[in-house]
């Protein structure tokens, strides 16, 4: 297994595999049926902060690291297909634009960038954050990015217009994680003050504060709705607990 703390974990689109990122500079892919690691990807030179699968393809994973880069991995051969260079500080979060060949990255250099996976070039950079950007998320429609920073600021970006839709101060505490619900209408933010805050995507208006954790909220994620479930929010915190919210 890994030889350091885990920073990120994500299921493949098929649900058969799991990708993990670690302090040990590696990305590993795990097979549930075999109960074993089937790929170990080791080209990063510092801790890996985040991993993400391509939305509709289980063969590609993207990772980001303290080494200032993001990498695109081809899991069919276990090789790095692209390295994205341009950030001048740690790359803290990464995700695929749904159903496209672009990824977005959030960095300690206070920027959010959009990259073309085919060329490896930066297609656009979003400026506005005043401190390290800790997390970002795409709306499932692919037209909106939300990002949060160490100053406790949430920003919402229009990808097509390359414009800021909303900027919200959540409080004095850093924001650690952000997620957009499957409908694209609401944003959840996990904060260092143990509170989860939800906002309207279009206006940035506060929907509600959700209290229950007793320490920093480190991660938030929306579950996809199905015929048997309306969907829900999951959070995990430094209080050694995870919680589900309706």
Rounded Cα distance between 94 and 108, Å, is: 12
Rounded Cα distance between 30 and 17, Å, is: 5
Asked whether the whole model's pTM tops 0.85, one would answer yes
Q: Which strands form 69-74's sheet, in the order they lie side by side?
A: 48-54, 57-65, 69-74, 79-85
Q: Which strands form 175-180's sheet, in the order they lie side by side?
A: 175-180, 186-191, 196-200, 206-210
Rounded Cα distance between 179 and 185, Å, is: 11
Q: With contact defined as beta carbons under 8 Å apart, do 100 and 142 qualify?
A: yes
Rounded Cα distance between 5 and 86, Å, is: 26
What does each of the 246 residues of the chain score in pLDDT, given as a tens digit? 999 999 999 999 999 999 999 999 999 999 988 999 999 999 999 999 999 999 989 999 999 999 999 999 999 999 999 999 999 999 999 999 999 999 999 999 999 999 999 999 999 999 999 999 999 999 999 999 999 999 999 999 999 999 999 999 999 999 999 999 999 999 999 999 999 999 999 999 999 999 999 999 999 999 887 766 667 999 999 999 999 998
Beta partners for residue 233, in sequence order: 222, 245
List the one residue out of 175, 142, 176, 173 whose CA is nearest residue 157. Answer: 142
């Amino acid at each position: 297994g890994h030889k350091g703390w885990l920073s990120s974990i994500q299921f493949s689109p098929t649900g058969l595999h799991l990708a993990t990122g670690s302090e040990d500079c590696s990305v590993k892919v795990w097979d549930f049926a075999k109960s074993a690691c089937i790929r170990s990807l080791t080209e990063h030179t510092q801790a890996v902060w985040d991993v993400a699968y391509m939305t509709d393809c289980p063969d590609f994973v993207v990772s980001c690291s303290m080494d200032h880069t993001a990498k695109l991995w081809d899991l069919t051969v276990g090789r790095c297909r692209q390295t994205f260079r341009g950030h001048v500080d740690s790359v803290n979060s990464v995700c695929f634009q749904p159903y496209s060949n672009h990824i977005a990255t959030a960095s300690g250099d206070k920027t959010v960038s959009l990259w073309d996976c085919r060329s490896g070039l930066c297609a656009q950079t979003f400026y506005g954050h005043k401190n390290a950007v800790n997390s970002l998320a795409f709306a499932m429609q692919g037209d909106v990015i939300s990002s949060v920073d160490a100053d406790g600021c949430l920003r919402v970006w229009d990808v097509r217009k390359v414009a800021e839709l909303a900027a919200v101060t959540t409080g004095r505490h850093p924001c650690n994680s952000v997620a957009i619900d499957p409908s694209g209408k609401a944003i959840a933010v996990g904060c260092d003050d143990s509170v989860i805050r939800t906002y309207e995507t279009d206006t940035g208006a506060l929907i509600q504060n959700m209290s229950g954790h007793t320490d920093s909220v480190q991660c938030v994620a929306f579950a996809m709705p199905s015929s048997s479930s309306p969907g829900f929010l999951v959070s995990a915190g430094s209080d050694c607990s995870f919680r589900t919210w309706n």
